[in-house]
A and B are shown apart, each in its own frame.
Chain A
Amino acid sequence: AQRVTQPEKLLSVFKGAPVELKCNYSYSGSPELFWYVQYSRQRLQLLLRHISRESIKGFTADLNKGETSFHLKKPFAQEEDSAMYYCALSNFGNEKLTFGTGTRLTIIP
Chain B
Amino acid sequence: GAGVSQSPRYKVAKRGQDVALRCDPISGHVSLFWYQQALGQGPEFLTYFQNEAQLDKSGLPSDRFFAERPEGSVSTLKIQRTQQEDSAVYLCASSLAGGPDTGELFFGEGSRLTVL
Q: Which residues of A contact B (CB under 8 A)?
A: 4, 9, 32, 34, 43-46, 49, 51, 86, 88, 90-102
Contacts and interface: CB of A to CB of B under 8 A. Distances in A.
Given A46-B105, A96-B48, A101 B42 contact: yes
B76 to A, nearest CB: 19
Contacts of B107: 43-45
A9 B58 CA distance: 28
Given A32-B101, A43-B3, A96 B56 contact: yes
Contacts, number: 64
B43 A99 contact: yes
Nearest to A45: B107
B99 A94 contact: yes
Contacts of B35: 97
